[in-house]
A and B are shown apart, each in its own frame.
Chain A
């Protein structure tokens, strides 16, 4: 399947950044009509900071503003919910409250500096940003990182997925007032962050990945313990999850909240758990050079519950995957280190990474060891459209379930 990740536009021409069967490709538009093939073409083309901004009028209809400073959605962002009382008629999302213009600020910086900036776009996706950026730059300047580096990146992406998914389910549980479940999930979430720290030295997996190599190789003396911890997380999570699926109170609140059909999801250009929850088998896993292929988890209903189920299964899979491969990681040291020197200082590159919330794409142009241009395509931007569409015709109490279930972040959507 083909997914439009982004549009790389210059004043002269326009190229489509497409994920084709798991491989990123750039194709020229050439007078064709991309909007007929890709429903999300106009969304990406316009790239508005006010999402779904079409006022709703009528007797008694008013704009309920939620944000930019609220305790419910702690990030700086703003929702305008058009309503005549209880029902959300339209949800406009303003992401400009977090606009930091990082992509522009990267221009004329060295790739190394730009890499740290990429990690700081949305730090809970730090590794996805970092890997996508470094892969794009590696393509541009023709570096091939060693197998060891590639393997570690793959493993770390999975650990990023684990804590992000745990966070989403924890937020869903606390939104549904499932206090015990939420407390236990948040404990697991904190545990996952601590495991990150033991593995990489940073709770958010920052500063470990670099261009063509890793800044430091995780300490292998502790690796067995860490692997066991991941298995313990998987076990505890499974226990909690099974218990929570017995609780109809909880399931009722997630069920049929923010339902998207497969057509709607594909039309918005969604990727990741959100798309898979609509029953679409995507090939995002192929963007990562997995040591063994992970199964693609799908659900049919496309609602908040389905998205949670997809995430839950992915947590368990990733934990087992991590545990297995961490134990085998000492064998990677035998692989011969390749020369990671750059072959040329100029070029263009692009890459897509399977981040916890979907496809994360980077397009870079490097000139004379300086960033010439950086285009960043994050999963949260189309995700915000999905939130807006999912909220329509629901009532206010459904708001947190819809918003949290998509796993989107303002920091990630507004770059």
Chain B
């Protein structure tokens, strides 16, 4: 017999309520245009895959990013923020530039350099509107804190 999923889904409350704090300060003043609505496109340019997993974890119901109006888009053409995972391998430099050129203005770029001392990777090219640079493998709540900073939204513990 087919059992009904929504009933199962509603039984548990998974969303957490706490304050998400960004580990870094924004490098430039932000515009108010993204208040409570931020669309993020993610590009992996050479990360060690931990960041990809962290983004998947960020999509989990514990964080419930949609309540803040934050969404991951499927195309850079719909994005407000380009989240760059890892430092680029040589072959990904060109696709990275192309992706940036596809972003509609205004937009921000955010970098997360998972392993700053890793050899064999390139420095970032000139990134326009580079609003924040994280290092290491930040946990989803830190990434969420940064995105909330950009979106000018805070959810306090209640």
Direct touching of A and B (C-beta under 8 Å): yes
Residues of A at the B interface (CB closer than 8 Å) are: 68-69, 71-72, 74-76, 96-102, 104-105, 117, 120-124, 126, 167, 170-171, 178-181, 183-184, 186-187, 189-190, 193, 203-204, 206, 243, 246-248, 409-412
Q: A183-B9, A189-B56, A189-B60 are in contact. Are A246 and B2 (CB under 8 A)?
A: yes
Q: Is the CB of B95 within 8 A of A248?
A: no
**Is B99 an interface residue when CB atoms closer than 8 A count as contact?**
yes
**Is B21 an interface residue when CB atoms closer than 8 A count as contact?**
no
Chain A residues with CB under 8 Å of B89's CB are 76, 97-100
Query: 29 A-B pairs, CB-CB below 8 angstroms?
Result: A68-B91, A69-B43, A71-B42, A74-B55, A75-B52, A76-B44, A97-B91, A97-B95, A99-B89, A100-B46, A100-B120, A117-B119, A120-B114, A120-B115, A121-B48, A123-B50, A123-B137, A124-B50, A178-B5, A179-B5, A180-B5, A184-B61, A186-B61, A189-B57, A190-B62, A203-B50, A247-B2, A247-B5, A412-B49
**Is B133 an interface residue when CB atoms closer than 8 A count as contact?**
no
Kindly list 9 other residue pairs between chains A and B, CB separation below 8 angstroms, not including A68-B95, A187-B60.
A75-B44, A76-B89, A76-B91, A97-B91, A99-B91, A184-B8, A187-B62, A190-B140, A243-B8
Q: Which of B1, B3, B49 contacts A122 (CB 8 A)?
A: B49
Q: Is the CB of A123 within 8 A of B114?
A: yes
Residues of B at the A interface (CB closer than 8 Å) are: 1-3, 5-6, 8-9, 12, 14, 41-50, 52-57, 59-63, 72-76, 89, 91-92, 95, 98-99, 114-115, 118-121, 137, 139-140
Closest A residue to B90 by CB, please name it: A99
Give bound CA distance, A175 to B45, whole Å. Answer: 23
Q: Is the CB of B118 within 8 A of A120?
A: yes
Chain B residues with CB under 8 Å of A171's CB are 56
Q: Is the CB of B2 within 8 A of A75?
A: no
How many contacts between A and B, using CB within 8 angstroms?
A: 131
Chain A residues with CB under 8 Å of B115's CB are 120
Chain B residues with CB under 8 Å of A99's CB are 89, 91
Q: A167-B56, A189-B57, A243-B3 are in contact. Are A409 and B49 (CB under 8 A)?
A: yes
Q: A102-B120, A124-B49, A204-B137 are in contact. Are A246 and B1 (CB under 8 A)?
A: yes
Closest A residue to B55 by CB, please name it: A74
Q: A75-B49, A76-B89, A412-B49 are in contact. Are A183 and B120 (CB under 8 A)?
A: no
Q: Which of A76, A123, A183, A409 contacts B46 (CB 8 A)?
A: A76
Closest A residue to B99 by CB, please name it: A69
Give bound CA distance, A411 to B44, whole Å. Answer: 11
Chain B residues with CB under 8 Å of A410's CB are 49
Chain B residues with CB under 8 Å of A178's CB are 5
Chain B residues with CB under 8 Å of A120's CB are 48, 114-115, 118
Closest Cβ of chain A to B115, distance in Å, is: 5
Q: Which of B50, B59, B137 contacts A186 (CB 8 A)?
A: B59
Q: Is the CB of A183 within 8 A of B52?
A: no
Chain A residues with CB under 8 Å of B8's CB are 180, 184, 243
Closest B residue to A181 by CB, please name it: B5
Closest Cβ of chain B to A376, distance in Å, is: 14
Chain B residues with CB under 8 Å of A69's CB are 43, 76, 95, 98-99
Give bound CA distance, A248 to B5, whole Å. Answer: 12
Closest A residue to B45 by CB, please name it: A76
Q: Is the CB of B6 within 8 A of A76?
A: no
Q: Is the CB of A74 within 8 A of B114?
A: no
Q: Is the CB of B57 within 8 A of A190?
A: yes
Chain B residues with CB under 8 Å of A96's CB are 91
Q: A181-B5, A243-B8 are in contact. Are A123 and B91 (CB under 8 A)?
A: no
Chain A residues with CB under 8 Å of B57's CB are 186, 189-190, 193
Q: Is the CB of A123 within 8 A of B49?
A: yes
Chain B residues with CB under 8 Å of A411's CB are 47-49
Closest B residue to A170 by CB, please name it: B56
Chain A residues with CB under 8 Å of B43's CB are 69
Q: Is the CB of A117 within 8 A of B118?
A: yes
Q: Is the CB of A183 within 8 A of B49?
A: no
Give bound CA distance, A117 to B74, whole Å. Answer: 32
Q: Is the CB of B49 within 8 A of A71?
A: no
Q: Is the CB of B61 within 8 A of A187?
A: yes
Give bound CA distance, A189 to B121, whole Å. Answer: 30
Closest Cβ of chain A to B44, distance in Å, is: 5
Give bound CA distance, A126 to B48, whole Å. Answer: 9
Give bound CA distance, A184 to B59, whole Å. Answer: 11
Q: Is the CB of B50 within 8 A of A190?
A: no
Closest B residue to A72 by CB, please name it: B74
Closest Cβ of chain B to A72, distance in Å, is: 8
Give bound CA distance, A179 to B8, whole Å. Answer: 12
Q: Is the CB of A204 within 8 A of B2?
A: no
Task: Please give me the 3 A-B residue pairs with the lowest Cβ-Cβ distance, nearest first.
Answer: A123-B50, A180-B9, A186-B60
Give bound CA distance, A121 to B119, whole Å. Answer: 12
Q: A100-B89, A187-B14 are in contact. Are A71 and B56 (CB under 8 A)?
A: no
